[in-house]
Structure 1
Amino acid sequence: MSPVSFADLPNNTNSSWWRDAGMRRGMLHVSILYTAVYSLGYDGSLLNGLQGLPAWQSNYEQPAGVQLGLIAATYYLPKIPTTFVVAWMVDRFGRKIPLYVGAVFMLAGAIVGGLTHTRAELMGARVLLGVGTAFAQITACSLIPELAHPRVRHMAGGFLNTTYFIGSIFSSWLCFAMVYYPGGGSDNWSWRIPTLLQGIGPVILAAGVWFVPESPRWLVNKGRTEEAHAILAKYHANGEMQDQLVLLELHEISTSVEKDRQTAAGGWLSFFQTAGNRRRFFVIIMIGTATQWIGNGLVNYFLIPILRTVNITQPAQTTGINGGIAIWSWFAAMLGASLSDKFGRRSLFLTSLLGCLACFVFITALSGSFASSGNKNTGIAIIPFLFLFNSFYAIAFTPIPLLYVPEISPFALRAKSAALLLLSQNIAQAFNQFVNPVALAAIAWKYFIVYVAVISLYFVLFYFFCRETKGLTVEEAGLVYDSAVMRKRGADMEAAVEEEAQGDEKDIGDGKEISAHFEERRI
């Protein structure tokens, strides 16, 4: 029997989500959860923008090298242990409480950061922000696919990380405007205002989460099946409790939860118990570290020192370039999210890596030429390649990881797979944030050669280890890293569940068509 899309199931919704009241409400909730990644993006360009403001540099005594690295890394270091706390809390207390915790920490970090006077106080504020964004991001990544209607789940997950650039655009251009703040950017409020406005995202998140429903999967796991049924019916069928799609979703969730209980699946050690899970573990870490180690951490957080290596130092120039890159990257990320189903995840990953590699080769060559000749035009020629690099990066490594990792993971490991992805990203980023400014201060443009080698290595790894999931059902995608034997067992299990479903048709209304759709199970 060929796989059938959820679009073919009888469902009490409009075929276009924006014309359907229930699906519009659901997408509004998804948009509220997007503020978690928005806050991450705001910080991503904020530190770059602040470095271009004379008042910030003066207040913190021109931090560079190790000092600048410590300031940047304090945002990511606390995320490493926090990841395990969030993964436990999300499973124990549900999705909403961790979102509130994240919002409180982020808001506290924004307020403290905007009122600081010393480097120690600044680093303390960044610790609060790091903890808060870890809570918010991990929880949002888990909740969005659990709430989104099946027909728009790929879109909701794919566009999640693109909101990073909305925050990035806002903070970068706000810092640009502060260059023209009365006093020419020399007043402390020129950097305090952008820092305090970092609290907008967590305020929206805290206020909006009140209206966001709890995860139906978590409710079923806690024995609150009727509540889960009501939520699915309200947002996926405009309140129709006997809707066939809703009944199928509820059946699949209940079946998955029961299987996980019987097999005791879902613990962290499950990643090492089968060959398929060990492959997933490696691929998830490969993707997570690649998102931080192919040059974006250098360009996004240390753009100002990079521009200084080619003598571009004016605040209006540096903050303007920072803002322009943010807008450019956002469009590229939106394009990548739109193309992931058409061209495939693996194809976009490889295209992105090749483009990043080519850009870094040119950036390295031009930087070396400027260092030897001092030709101003050579230095300016680097700017287009910085824009191109960000577009190649954003087209794949912004939208796809948070879509691909849940796809390749069985239901019992999906939340922990998302946590593992973010854990590997945070470890890589914490290392990056400390090493990058030190290396730039020590060897300047020669440090770019390291990234040429690293990007080349990742291209080889992705070519041989990354498998395509385009066009596959959720169950097929969840088995692509398993052996042929495991895939056969998965097919046998699906056949058994379908046989069981046929026996249940009497209990769910007409139900004659539902068994044909049980190949799209455990989504």
Structure 2
Amino acid sequence: MLTKINTGTWLPAWVPQTSGILAFILLFCAMVESATNGFDGSLLNGLNILPVYKDYFNLTPATTGLNTASVYIGKILGLWASGLLCDRLGRRPVIFWSSLGSIIGVIIMAAAQNIGMFVAGRAILGLFSSWASVAGAVYLSETFAARWRSWGVGILNNFYYVGALIAAGVTLGTSKWQSTWAWRAPCLFQGIFAIICIVLLPFIPESPRWLAAQGLHDDAHQVLASVNADGDMNSQIVLVQFKEIVDTLAYEKSHSTMSPLEMFKSKVSRRRLFIGTSPGWMSCIVGNIIASYYLGDELKTAGITNREDQLKANVVLNVWCLVTCLTGTQLAVSWGRKPTALLCQFSLTTFLFIIGGLSKMYASNPQGASQALVYGDVACIFLFQGAYSIAWTPLMTLYPPEILNYSIRANGYTLKQYCNALPALVLIYLMPIGLANIGWKMYFVNASWDVLIFIVIIFTWVETKGKTLEEIDEIFEGSKHSDAPNLAKVVAGQARMDHDAMTKTAMGDAYLGKAHEA
């Protein structure tokens, strides 16, 4: 059964009243950006192995880097507006426009006649997908059912490997084609995720926190009931969250201008911003870009030179990473965000040093290298990517929206994406040049600064496990800004929220009047 819910925007919504079905649709609709990014990384991995692609564009290491990195040029150009658009237009409309624009970019890329056209298509794709990267993560963190939020938001970025796996399979399937469709068809297929998103958007509600911020309290209350309690507006879980949201927003509006400058005004906001944006630059520079975009070159340094073997390795690697990121999501939920990140960072730093050492041994005597050396190096590449996926894949979308409070969430998440896109643009462009010139030494350079990231996490990150978005204020400010009991206590039966007291405290007489009229 579908119920029409006001969204406060031009984009209507007919929402299922069963919370489980709604959660499923929410997740699939918000996954468009991560799946598109995953498809893109794996797609370029495959294309950079295909002779028909490299010969068509007559690629050099520099133009290979340009073709690959151009998606980040678009992201950097588009990101500046994403947070502002999310706050002004609503989360869902931004996802819609980003999906539509991504389809246009994909079509141009697939129809490319030269490097300039290919780069332009990828830049357009990057520009619009940057909007989805902010809107999708912020939307899901603010809307997903409280009891499933950690898993739901954590698994959002895991769709990266769903997209990557599909791309790896598609490029393997077209690799034997002798026409340009060997690379055009996989490029065109990339638009499927945006199409799925556009189809599903009418069946999900707007963010309840965005609705409450616009003064649409009745609609926010209804959305919370739909996503948490099969439409029961008197559910204890719904009432507690509703009060927390409205009280916290009232506090933030009375103590800030709700503008992007709020990110820098106070010591607490600056601390939130540093921690909330850190997964952006940390996850980018740890070393995964080599395997994410230039797996063929990495496998060559390990001794795997056959094109078909490289494409098959691309498929298997993405299956492995999907398994490990799901495992990591469970660790983040049950064990905690910070311990999971530290485990990941220690492991991938260790594996990167080992990969560098084994690659050096292979490079010193390629003809005399044993099979054990080659397979050991490849195994460590897989272990490295698995270690990366355990934490950085789920935490990229889960941790920042938790750290950033509502007034700076969308714009802070935008800055986090910039912290990812800017170094990624540089590293994706330079990586093939670096691998061509210094080879195995790239791994040692990368592993050295990974040690510093481990230290930064130890001394700056905080633990957010088991808290609602509003309850996390207590970590940074000493108390939360609502007298509603903590949700965990209500779920455990240790506290209870009275409906009448909640409406009087949170909304005042104006809200009660509207309720009585209804």
Quick one: which amino acid aligns to residue 43 of structure 2?
Answer: L
Q: Which amino acid aligns with 2:394?
A: P
Residue in 2 that maps onto 1:78: 74
1:36-435 alignment, distance < 5 Å: 36-61=33-58, 63-179=59-175, 184-374=176-366, 375-376=368-369, 377=371, 378-435=373-430
CA gap of 1:471–1:201, structure 2 versus 1, over 3 A, is closer
Task: Say if 1:349 and 1:145 are closer, same or farther in 2 by CA, change over 3 A.
Answer: same
How far has the Cα of 1:474 moved from its partner?
A: 4.5
Give the Cα–Cα distance (whole angstroms) in 2 for the partners of residues 168 and 228 of structure 1: 35
Q: Map Cα deviations across residues 365-414 of structure 1 (whole Å, 9 max, x no partner).
A: 11111111113433343110110001100000001232222222323222
How big is each residue's C-alpha offset from its partner over 1:154-185, in whole Å with a ceiling of 9 and x where there is no partner?
11111111111000000012111222xxxx34
Change (3 A) 1:193 1:429: same
TM-score (norm 2): 0.86
1:1-42 CA-partner distances (Å, limit 9, x unpaired): xxxxxxxxxxxxxxxxxxx92332233222221222111111
Percent pairwise identity: 27
Unmatched 5+ stretches in structure 1:
1-19, 512-523
Distance 1:22 1:461 in 2: 39
Pick which of 221-230 and 126-135 moved more: 221-230
Aligned: 1:506 with 2:484:
no
Q: 1:326 to 1:496 in 2, by over 3 A?
A: closer
Deviates more, 1:219-228 or 1:335-344: 219-228
Contact 2:90-2:206 at 8 Å conserved across structures = yes
Instruction: Give me the whole-angstrom Cα distance separating, in 2, the residues matched to 1:311 and 1:121.
Output: 34
The alignment partner of 2:394 has SS state of coil
Alignment match of 1:448 (pick from 443, 449, 472): 443
Q: Is the 8 A contact 2:109 2:121 kept in 1?
A: yes
| Superposition deviation, residue 233 in structure 1 | 2.7
The amino acid across from 1:446 in the alignment is K
Residue 497 of structure 1: how far off its partner (Å): 9.6
With normalisation by structure 1, the TM-score equals: 0.86
Query: How far apart in 2 are the matches of 1:505 and 1:226?
Result: 14
Q: CA deviation at 1:360?
A: 1.0
Between 215-224 and 35-44, the greater mean CA deviation after superposition: 215-224
- Distance in 2, Cα, partners of 1:442 & 1:227: 59
Matched, 1:477 2:469: no
- Paired AA for residue 191 in structure 2: G
* 8 A contact 2:346–2:454 mirrored in 1: yes
What is the Cα-based RMSD across aligned positions, in Å?
2.6
Note the alpha carbon deviations across 1:281-318, whole angstroms, 9 max, x for none.
22233321111101111211111122223442322111
Separation of aligned partners in 2, 1:469 and 1:228: 24
**Alpha carbons 2:244, 2:470 under 8 Å: kept:** no
For 2:8, the equivalent position in structure 1 comes to none
Q: How much does 1:472 deviate?
A: 5.0
Sort the Cα spacing of 1:438 and 1:404 in 2 relative to 1 into closer, same or farther, 3 A. same
Rounded Cα–Cα distance in structure 2 between residues aligned with 1:157 and 1:93: 22
Q: How many residues align?
A: 479
In the TM superposition, structure 1's runs of 4+ consecutive aligned residues that sit over 4 Å from their partners are: 471-476, 493-498, 501-505, 507-511
Q: Which amino acid aligns with 2:261?
A: L
Q: Report the CA distance shift for 1:208/1:441 in structure 2 as closer, same or farther (over 3 A).
A: same
Q: Which amino acid aligns with 2:432?
A: P
Q: Secondary structure at the match of 1:355?
A: helix
Q: Which moved more, 1:330-339 or 1:242-251?
A: 242-251
Q: Is the 8 A contact 2:146 2:468 kept in 1?
A: no
